[in-house]
Amino acid sequence: MTALVRLVNVEKIYKTGAVAFTALRGVSLELAEGDFVAVMGPSGSGKSTLLHLLGGLDRPSAGRIEVRDAVLSAMNETALAKFRRTHIGFIFQFFNLIDNLTVQANIELPALLQSGRERKAVRQRANALMERLGILDQARKHPWELSGGQQQRVAIARALINQPTLLLADEPTGNLDSKSGQEVLHILRECNAQGQTILMVTHDASAAAQAKHVIFIRDGRLVEEMPGVDVQRIAQFMITLTET
């Protein structure tokens, strides 16, 4: 079986003035279609950098990134932007919704930005997503009228509206109370059960344990990989990563 996502020796060097900082040091990784992978690692280890590169928000300094047939590492800015719109859904810790748009408009926006989408079809899909995520009765409200958990569900619906090849989540439960966090994880698991490929950065071992696989990075290197089931083992490994 061919991998949906493939990273080969990916490096990322940030240059600020005369100072260069290497955030990723030769990461190689494959994700199968339908996988649900959690990324763990100490703060500053390169987790968000990895996510940004996979989502085409930034380009690697060296190495190769492929998502399905697209070679991201060879794309210019225009091609990357198109790739992002077509293939990637993002979910962030702080939701990043547009405050002066309604819930419905937030969710529909990425689809309406795609050329050739019919308004009616977009509306139908948005309604179906809102119903599935339990926020249909919030459609006409604005993000600031919702709880954190509801806002994150809106963000998930927005991320799914274009049926992305890959759903990327950067600490999606990091700003939620534990009950809302569990609801969000439940939704992500359901999406995955329906075939959605997901990569999720998290600090939380119990969140990571919901994924099929967990990968650990430290100082820009992939250091361990394990199945998602065993929350104790995940938590223990995180402790050794942070302490040693």
Ligand X SMILES: Nc1ncnc2c1ncn2[C@@H]1O[C@H](COP(=O)(O)OP(=O)(O)O)[C@@H](O)[C@H]1O
Which spans of this chain sit near ligand X (rule: CB under 6 A)? 14, 16, 21, 23, 41, 43-49
In the block, residue with structure tokens 């969000």: 184
User: By C-alpha distance, which of 106, 107, 114 is closest to 132?
Assistant: 107
Q: Rounded to an integer, what distance in angstroms lies between the CA atom of residue 120 and that of residue 180?
A: 31
The CA–CA distances, whole Å, from 224 to 40, 64, 219 equal 10, 21, 13
Residue 77 vs 99, nearer CB to ligand X: 77
Q: Rounded to an integer, what distance in angstroms lies between the CA atom of residue 63 and that of residue 227?
A: 26
User: By C-alpha distance, which of 193, 238, 224, 237 is closest to 211?
Assistant: 193
Residue 21 vs 94, nearer CB to ligand X: 21
Q: How far is the CB of 174 from Mg ion (least distance, A)?
A: 9
Residue 13 vs 136, nearer CB to Mg ion: 13
What is the token pair recorded at 162? 């274009």
Q: Does 197 bind Mg ion (CB under 5 A)?
A: no
Per the CB < 8 A criterion, the answer to whether 149 and 176 are in contact is yes
Q: How far is the CB of 47 from ligand X (least distance, A)?
A: 3
Name which of residues 45 to 84 contact Mg ion (CB under 5 A): 47-48
Q: How far is the CB of 46 from Mg ion (least distance, A)?
A: 9
Name which of residues 146 to 185 contact Mg ion (CB under 5 A): none
Residue 45 vs 197, nearer CB to ligand X: 45
Q: How far is the CB of 5 from ligand X (least distance, A)?
A: 18
Q: Which residues in this chain contact Mg ion in the complex, by CB under 5 A?
A: 47-48
